[in-house]
Structure 1
Amino acid sequence: MRKSIASYLSLSLTICILVGISFTTDETVDLSKYSTAGLKLDYTVSPDDSIANDDLASNDLNQTFSPYLGKSFVGFKEAIGFKESGGDYNSVNTFGYLGKYQFGAETLKMIGINDPSHFLKNPGLQEKAFIANAARNKWILRRDIKNFVGKRIDGVLVTESGILAAAHLAGPGSVKRYLRSYGLDNFADGYGTTVRYYMKHFSGYDTSFVQPDRLAKAL
């Protein structure tokens, strides 16, 4: 009987020692064999080293989180929408321009929208209108984009996104005159905002998403 108890105690002690050793063993994992080398990594937005970490997060808990859109096409149209109206789909300015992107009634007609009231109440239609208008302007300005992108006019580097933004502000005709006069004919809207300002302020965005289309319609 005593031998059985002694054997039981010895077995229990051995198990405790083995369990203790298993928890105290410092086993390292070799990560050198795990690598992304050779893999095609697909990012939706290019890295931008100029953005600080503080820009990505805020200590103010009352602020609404907004993803960093960088120089993407979505970043382009949202930047224009914010400049035009603060991003307000219901906005109507003192000159009667409508919506988030501040369209005039005549421009809306050219892209197939004949009911400004319906347009103002329809955010989805406003987004389609922005793309249609950009596509139409890109077709009208296709030769100027080819001839002037990469050059400097009045100290401003000409980019496709700057041209399209300026055309949204002032119309493609005003942008043609600005480019072909090398900055001498610098149209300003009713609030004093110039073609040159939009050309500079919206420079360098990726607008390859917009396909030139002479007959582009929002509907």
Structure 2
Amino acid sequence: MKKWINVSCPLIMIFLLASFGFKNSIKNQEVPKSLKVNEPTFFSFPKDEIFAEYPIVLPPRVGNSYVGFKEAVAFKESRGKYGVVNSLGYLGKYQFGIGTLELVGIYNPDYFLRNPKLQERAFKTNIARNKWILRKDIKKYTGLKIGNSHITESGIIAAAHLAGPGNVKKYLRSLGAHDVNDEYGSSVSHYIKKFSGYDISMIVPKRNAKI
């Protein structure tokens, strides 16, 4: 009996270990769907995500201040997420196009997505740039009414963020006849109305503003 136990116990252990390893090898051949990459992406940073060290925090009720303005624009653009890349390739919390980033001196989109402070600087710098380009139009049209919208500086600047300052000039100078939409259906007139009445006077117009 003792001899049988001495022989059988090692055999049983070998069988159990072999079975365990075999089951694990079979199981690990199946990659979870959540880990599969179905399409290539231009950016290495994951789409529609945010770094854990920058959790989403609802902004305070800051009224019509600059902080209120930028958080309102950010919520409309990306729900306030720094790491978002949309289906058209627009980047970050404020959904910048690569061309606009280059205009303000940013040439590395991956680094831009990983750097919330840089995104905030880019937004402020682009406002200064657009304020300079639209300075005459801001002075001329602020306080007027076009369609059902009262024209304000913040509405003009928000529309410039959406469609570029050139299209905002055309909208204002045509008294609303030249209105353009982005690929998701948002229009210059909608942004002018939605983001009117904020105080962004703290940002000084600057020609060719760069980071």
Work out whether the TM-score is over 0.5.
Answer: yes
Give the equivalent residue in structure 1 for 2:107. Answer: 114
Match of 1:199 in 2: 192
- Which whole-Å CA distance do the structure 1 matches of 2:162 and 2:129 have between them? 14
2:81 corresponding residue in structure 1: 88
Does the C-alpha gap of structure 1 residues 65 and 199 become closer, same or farther in structure 2, counting only changes over 3 Å?
closer
- RMSD of Structure 2 on Structure 1 (CA): 1.0
Task: Indicate which of 182, 187, 200 corresponds to 2:175.
Answer: 182
Return the alpha-carbon distance in structure 1 between the equivalents of residues 183 and 162 of structure 2: 11
Q: What stretches of structure 1 move > 6 A for 4+ residues in a row?
A: none
Q: C-alpha separation between the residues in 1 aligned to 2:59 and 2:115?
A: 23
Which SS does the other structure have where 1:133 is aligned?
Answer: helix
**Structure 2 residue 68 is matched with structure 1 residue 75:** yes
- How far off its partner does 1:155 sit? 1.5
Which amino acid letter does the alignment assign opposite residue 141 of structure 2? F
Question: Which secondary structure state, in structure 2, belongs to the residue aligned with residue 83 of structure 1?
Answer: helix
| Separation (CA, whole Å) in 1 of partners of 2:93 and 2:181 | 20
The one-letter code sitting in structure 2 at the alignment partner of 1:93 is: N
Match of 2:165 in 1: 172
Look up the match of 2:132.
Answer: 139
Q: 1:102 maps to what in 2?
A: 95
Letter in 2 for 1:173: G
Gaps in structure 1 of 5+ consecutive residues: 1-63
Whole-Å separation in 2 of the counterparts to 1:165 and 1:174: 12
Separation (CA, whole Å) in 2 of partners of 1:67 and 1:106: 32
User: Aligned in 2, Cα 1:183/1:115: closer, same or farther, shift over 3 Å?
Assistant: same
TM-score in terms of structure 1 length: 0.69
User: Which residue pairs with 1:216 in the alignment?
Assistant: 209
SS at match of 2:179: coil
Instruction: Give the unaligned 5+ runs of structure 2.
Output: 1-56
TM-superposed deviation, 1:66:
4.6
**Partner Cα separation in structure 1 for residue 59 and residue 193 of structure 2:** 24
Q: Tell me which residue corresponds to 1:29.
A: none
TM-score of the superposed pair, with normalisation by structure 2: 0.72
Identity of counterpart residues, as a percentage? 59
Q: Distance in 1 between matches of 2:60 and 2:69?
A: 14
Q: 1:65, CA displacement in angstroms?
A: 6.6
Looking at CA atoms only, which structure, 1 or 2, has the larger radius of gyration? 1
Secondary structure, in 3 states, of the residue corresponding to 1:187? coil
- Whole-Å Cα distance in 2 between the matches of residues 97 and 210 of structure 1? 24
Q: Which residue of 2 aligns with 1:157?
A: 150
